[in-house]
């Protein structure tokens, strides 16, 4: 099929590249010329394992990027994968969604040779497909036979290529059988359970899934905080809990908390929606509160060991919000670094992939080229990201001035590391 992807960010770039690998003809549209040029030169603007290989395989063949929207005119399917950043009140900013819908309408008015289908893959509040995308497009071109679908993405950063080709489910949110059949055909080479729902239910599925996973993490952290007081290993506890098939062992890892582009934003947006309907999101507010407090607990552990952080050199290992990505959005390292700076400490940072991005937030920090360099003469160490190379550190900790090590991710194997929850 001819496919246009509006939005060349994380979701759009991964989705477009993987669809090209399924032999579709894909054009990725973005307003950022630097990003468009990078894609056309087979260079990813993000770090995602396996993405560069697929880009080099398909760019210039059945995959390209463009600043123009003209590919919409000949597309069977148009994906909207633009961002929906949070407003100050936690609700979702849908201005990019509206802008994408307006540009789709403009191109259809110029001319279209297919019966197009518009697919929303961005995470959007329930009702967005019908009340914003459909109304915006049909307000401009009421006589065009446009189909609509909500098709949420479930891509884990750092494992997105695997998740695209090995999905545990594909959600098709539409009541139009022609649309449903077309989307099934688009993904026919993937072996996954397909669930067909209404578009509003599909939108709600994405929010609910992310909120539930975030709740599991915050629940584990609350239990972990108690386990630390009781001198109980929370990982041993959660291993026993996770053996219950009704619960599963996933997302029960206590530690520094969750971050990234999805969980914090989506939980806040869902809580905002609940409030707008005159309900009180008690549980979701607690999820966000627990997550917000976890980084401070790491700083308190450090203070208890060092008494004062003033002038102390603190190695911060890990800047990305999780391993196998360079994404620092809502990374737990950010509030930790802010608290260290407020206490007049000297953060010395290292991350295998995310240093460049963190430099945009903290340009004046000390950044190192290795964990070994960051640990040299350090008065303390905070491990913030579960990179595998950190698990293999051992003798490097002997380079520290004071061997005080706080592990926020339960990744270290050395015996004298203290965990935030264990």
- Give the catalytic positions in this structure: 262
CA atoms within 13 A on the CB side of 89: 7
Question: Phi and psi for 167 in degrees, rounded to 5?
Answer: -75, 150
Cβ–Cβ < 8 Å for 402, 309: no
CA proximity to 17, closest of 161, 158, 119, 154? 161
User: Among all chains, which residue has been given the structure tokens 């737990």?
Assistant: 332
Taking alpha carbons only, the member of 170, 108, 115 closest to residue 137 is 108
Q: How many angstroms separate the CA atoms of 218 and 215, rounded?
A: 5
Helix (H) or strand (E) holding 315: strand 313-317
Angular region, 23: left φ>0, alpha ψ -120 to 50, beta rest: left
Give the whole-angstrom CA distance, residue 21 versus residue 33: 24
- Name the residue among 325, 371, 326, 379 with its Cα closest to residue 349: 371
Structure tokens at 242: 């996770």
How far is Cα 264 from Cα 259, in angstroms, rounded to an integer?
6
* Structure-block tokens of residue 58: 């398909």
CA separation, residue 197 to residues 170, 207, 366 (Å): 11, 15, 50
Residue 348 backbone dihedrals phi, psi, to 5 degrees: -120, 115
Neighbours of 208 (CB within 10 A): 14
79, β-bridge pairs: 5, 119
C-alpha distances (whole Å) from 402 to each of 166, 314, 414 are: 46, 10, 15
Helices (H), 166-198: 177-186
What backbone torsions phi and psi does residue 25 show, to the nearest 5 degrees?
-100, 115
Quick one: CA torsion of 38, 44, 50, 53, rounded to 10 degrees?
Answer: 10
Tokens of 237: 């506890």
């Amino acid at each position: 099929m001819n496919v246009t992807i509006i939005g060349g960010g994380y979701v759009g770039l991964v989705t477009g590249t993987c669809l090209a690998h399924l032999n579709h003809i894909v054009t990725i549209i973005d307003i950022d010329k630097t990003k468009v040029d990078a894609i056309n030169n087979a260079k990813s603007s993000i770090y995602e394992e396996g993405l560069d290989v697929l880009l080099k395989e398909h760019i210039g063949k059945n995959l390209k990027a463009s600043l123009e929207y003209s590919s919409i005119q000949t597309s069977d399917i148009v994906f909207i994968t633009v961002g929906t950043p949070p407003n100050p009140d936690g609700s979702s900013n849908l201005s990019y969604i509206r802008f994408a819908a307006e540009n789709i309408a403009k191109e259809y008015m110029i001319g279209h040779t297919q019966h197009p289908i518009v697919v929303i893959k961005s995470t959007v509040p329930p009702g967005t497909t019908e009340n914003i995308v459909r109304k915006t497009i049909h307000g401009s071109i009421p006589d065009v036979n446009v189909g609509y679908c909500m098709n949420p993405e479930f891509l884990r950063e750092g494992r997105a290529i695997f998740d695209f080709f090995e999905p545990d489910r594909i959600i098709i949110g539409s009541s139009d059988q022609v649309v449903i059949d077309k989307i099934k055909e688009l993904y026919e080479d993937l072996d996954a359970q397909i669930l067909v729902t209404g578009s509003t239910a599909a939108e709600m599925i994405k929010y609910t899934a992310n909120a539930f996973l975030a709740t599991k993490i915050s629940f584990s952290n609350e239990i972990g905080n108690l386990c630390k007081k009781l001198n109980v290993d929370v990982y041993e506890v959660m291993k026993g809990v996770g053996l219950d098939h009704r619960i599963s062992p996933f997302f029960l890892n206590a530690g520094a908390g969750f971050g990234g582009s999805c969980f914090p934003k989506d939980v806040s947006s869902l809580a905002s929606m609940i409030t707008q309907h005159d309900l009180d999101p008690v549980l979701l507010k607690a999820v966000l509160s627990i997550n917000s407090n976890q980084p401070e607990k790491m700083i308190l552990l450090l203070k208890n060991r060092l008494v004062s952080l003033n002038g102390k050199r603190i190695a911060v290992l890990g800047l990305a919000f999780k391993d196998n990505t360079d994404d620092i959005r809502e990374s737990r390292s950010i509030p930790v670094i802010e608290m260290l700076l407020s206490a007049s400490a000297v953060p010395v940072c290292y991350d295998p992939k995310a240093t460049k991005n963190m430099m945009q937030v903290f340009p004046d920090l000390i950044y190192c080229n290795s964990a070994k360099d960051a640990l040299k003469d350090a008065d303390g160490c905070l491990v913030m990201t579960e990179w595998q190379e950190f698990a293999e550190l051992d003798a490097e900790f002997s380079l520290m001035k004071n061997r005080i090590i706080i592990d926020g991710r339960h990744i270290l194997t050395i015996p004298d590391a203290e965990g935030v929850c264990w």
